[in-house]
Amino acid sequence: ARMGRTVVELFYDVVSPYSWLGFEVLCRYQHVWNIDLRLRPAFLSGIMQATGNKPPAMLPKRGEYMLKDIKRMAKYYEVPLRTSENDLQRIISTSNLGAMRFITAVGMTQPQYLEPLSREFWISFWSQVSHSRNVYNSLHSIIFLQIARQAGLSPELAQKALEMISSPAVKNRLKETTEEAIKYGAFGMPAVVTHVNGEPQLFFGSDRLELLGSIIGE
């Protein structure tokens, strides 16, 4: 860690609305707390499958509560996250592996764009009601390039990342990051891991960040 900063790792997937909330809070606090925030894009479906976890929509009452909870938290944290009644089904039916590989490729080659790119993917899926609701299911790579451009990447860098999606290096990096989250004990996302006195401590969800701050002395 830089200058004695506490390492805080955020394992996230851009299909997860709670991940967006946790992401924005930690991105803000990285400028306030003495932390070294490390963004770790991982694959939520891989974590769910490995741990036997089930989506909230599998329990209707939990799904109903989740949509209300997300709406309240988004307002509280001032994140432009919009929900609709079909969101739970949309999450279940969405294949976002390509998106996470694209984000991973950018993280490997142009890490300074990892934060804005991740944010633009969330905005595309969770803020823009028009074209975006099936953005990850789209076979049109042009959508990824548009999102990358909105995040500030040049057309050349975006095209390079797009070409890397199917490479073994990117596939393996995403797989390894996902497996690392599971080793820390993750069963869903966001999974926040901080290292205190050499010991990793896992916090699940975006509603434990005050506790995280307390444990690291902030």
For 117-173, how does the pLDDT look when each residue is reduced to its tens digit (9 = 90+)?
A: 999 999 988 886 544 455 555 546 888 999 999 999 999 999 999 999 999 999 999
- Look at residue 20 in the predicted model and tell me its pLDDT: 96
In a domain, residue 199? The reply is yes
Neighbour order of strands in the sheet with 6-12: 35-41, 6-12, 191-196, 199-204
Number of Cβ atoms within 10 Å of the Cβ of 171: 16
For the segment 82-118, what is each residue's pLDDT rounded down to a tens digit? 887 776 666 666 678 999 999 999 999 999 999 999 9
The count of domains in the chain is 1
Binning pLDDT at 50, 70 and 90, where does residue 62 land?
Answer: confident
Residue 1 located in a structural domain: no
Check if 16 is active-site: yes
Helix-strand-coil percent breakdown of the chain, rounded to 5? 60, 10, 30
148: in domain: yes
> Domain for residue 207, yes or no?
yes
Residue 167 pLDDT: 96
Q: Is residue 159 domain-resident?
A: yes
- Render pLDDT for 171-203 as a digit per residue (tens, 0 to 9): 999 999 999 999 999 999 999 999 888 899 999
- pTM for this prediction: 0.91
Q: Determine, yes or no, domain membership for 66.
A: yes
DSSP strand pairing (6-12 vs 35-41): parallel
- Amino acid sitting at position 108: M
User: Domain span at residue 69?
Assistant: 6-216
- Residue 203 covered by a domain: yes
Would residue 96 count as lying in a domain?
yes
Q: What is the CATH number of the domain that holds 79?
A: 3.40.30.10
Catalytic residue among 16, 19, 118, 206: 16
